[in-house]
């Protein structure tokens, strides 16, 4: 975690602390990805996982959005499922989407999974930390470097469903038929992910984001049982080691659980486009909680002028109070024209 050196463009770090900035800082979730021809050129040489495990090339694609679009932060290129393989749950991306050949469906399978401590992670996921080091050496403290991880419920959903899902029936079946096994799995994941993020901060990440993308796909009561406690465990453990760490929590579809997200311990909530940004900003007023979001990624598929107009509208809703980071409400889509992504970034950066 960078403390000794000063980040030249530290707008995002200030916004995460709810300090005043001359303009809203901006980056985009999945900003290092398939919409960039430069990324596609490198991907032709590597499988997705091989690229994740190649620190020089992973660093190169991580830096591309900064060099091409001028974003205010670099989020390292990786995937939330990376730590699961050394835990004993192998994943492949042969079809472009994550697939688990042996989904976790029984208590015996949960028992067989191994929670990883810091020393084991530093060995099994060494490429992750080498990528952060490589990024830091390339950007020379020009902008912050962000690390990230998946939260336990979201990771468990992939492991149990065997990949993506529309109804999340398999994970809910395990939760309702054998809640003990479900909690055992979530605890193993939370122990692993807490150390995984701590190591990212140790190796130079300036802030981290916890993705609990699918945690909104349950009732409020289930969120309080199966998602929130494990978010809290991870964040509390990070803060034991790094009390001043900036931690952002993202959930896709926050409308019915926003007040519970406030209980997570995160100092920034990343919200999607289904909520009114002005109302969210009002909701967290006087709580010293930053807000990130919430441009609908599909709006980047419009005309350049419509992107500019809709971005200005988002900024109006966000208001001028400190503690706002402009971003998308989910990851950027592969078919987005680069000029539209640039228009989004430049419109925000002109808002000074």
CA dihedral 26, 28, 33, 37 (to 10 degrees): -50
Spot the catalytic one: 17, 23, 34, 239.
Answer: 34
34 given a catalytic annotation: yes
Q: Active site residue: 10, 11, 22, 30, which one?
A: 30
Going 334 to 338 to 344 to 345, the CA torsion angle's sign is positive
Give the DSSP H/E element, type plus range, for residue 83. none
Is 43 part of the annotated catalytic residue set?
Answer: yes
- Pick the catalytic residue from 22, 23, 72, 79: 79
Q: At what angle do helices 338-349 and 304-318 cross, to 10 degrees?
A: 40
Neighbours of 103 (CB within 10 A): 17
Catalytic residue among 17, 23, 43, 342: 43
CB-CB contact of 214 with 152 (8 Å): no
Question: Would you say 127 and 52 are in contact if contact means Cβ atoms under 8 Å apart?
Answer: yes
Strands 290-295 and 268-270, sheet pairing: parallel
Residue 58, CA atoms < 13 Å, CB-side half-sphere: 25
Q: Report CA 218 to chain centroid distance, whole Å.
A: 20
Q: What angle do CA 132, 133, 138 make, to 5 degrees?
A: 95
3-class secondary structure, 54: coil
Which one from 10, 35, 117, 158 is the annotated catalytic residue? 158
- Would you call 286 exposed, middle or buried from its count of C-beta atoms within 10 A (0-12, 13-18, 19+)? exposed
Please identify every residue annotated as catalytic: 30, 34, 43, 79, 158
């Amino acid at each position: 975690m960078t403390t000794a050196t000063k980040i030249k463009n530290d707008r995002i770090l200030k916004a995460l602390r709810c300090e005043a900035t001359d303009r809203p800082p901006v980056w985009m979730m999945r900003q290092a990805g398939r919409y960039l021809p430069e990324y596609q050129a490198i991907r032709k040489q590597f499988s997705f996982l091989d690229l994740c495990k190649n620190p020089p090339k992973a660093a190169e694609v991580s830096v591309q959005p900064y060099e091409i679009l001028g974003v205010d932060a670099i989020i390292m290129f990786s995937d939330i499922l990376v730590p699961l393989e050394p835990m004993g749950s192998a994943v492949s991306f042969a079809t472009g989407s994550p697939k688990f050949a042996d989904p976790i469906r029984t208590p015996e399978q949960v028992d067989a999974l191994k929670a990883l401590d810091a020393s084991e992670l530093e060995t099994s996921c060494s490429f992750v930390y080498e990528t952060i080091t490589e990024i830091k050496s390339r950007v020379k403290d020009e902008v912050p470097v962000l690390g990230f991880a998946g939260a336990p419920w979201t990771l468990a959903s992939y492991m149990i469903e065997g990949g993506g899902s529309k109804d999340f029936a398999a994970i809910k079946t395990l939760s309702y038929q054998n809640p003990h096994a479900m909690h055992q799995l979530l605890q193993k994941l939370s122990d692993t992910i807490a150390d995984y993020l701590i190591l990212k901060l140790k190796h130079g990440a300036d802030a981290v984001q916890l993705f609990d993308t699918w945690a909104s796909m349950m009732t409020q009561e289930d969120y309080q049982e199966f998602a929130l406690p494990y978010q809290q465990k991870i964040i509390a453990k990070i803060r034991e080691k790094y009390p001043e760490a900036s931690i952002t929590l993202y959930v896709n579809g926050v409308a019915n659980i926003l007040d519970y997200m406030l209980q997570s311990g995160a100092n920034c909530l990343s919200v999607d486009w289904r909520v009114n940004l002005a109302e969210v900003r009002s909701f967290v007023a006087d709580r010293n909680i930053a807000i990130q979001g919430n441009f609908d990624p599909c709006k980047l598929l419009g005309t350049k002028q419509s992107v500019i107009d809709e971005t200005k509208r988002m900024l109006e809703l966000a208001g001028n109070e400190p503690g706002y980071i402009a971003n998308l409400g989910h990851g950027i889509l592969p078919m987005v024209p680069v000029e539209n992504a640039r228009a989004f970034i430049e419109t925000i950066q002109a808002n000074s």
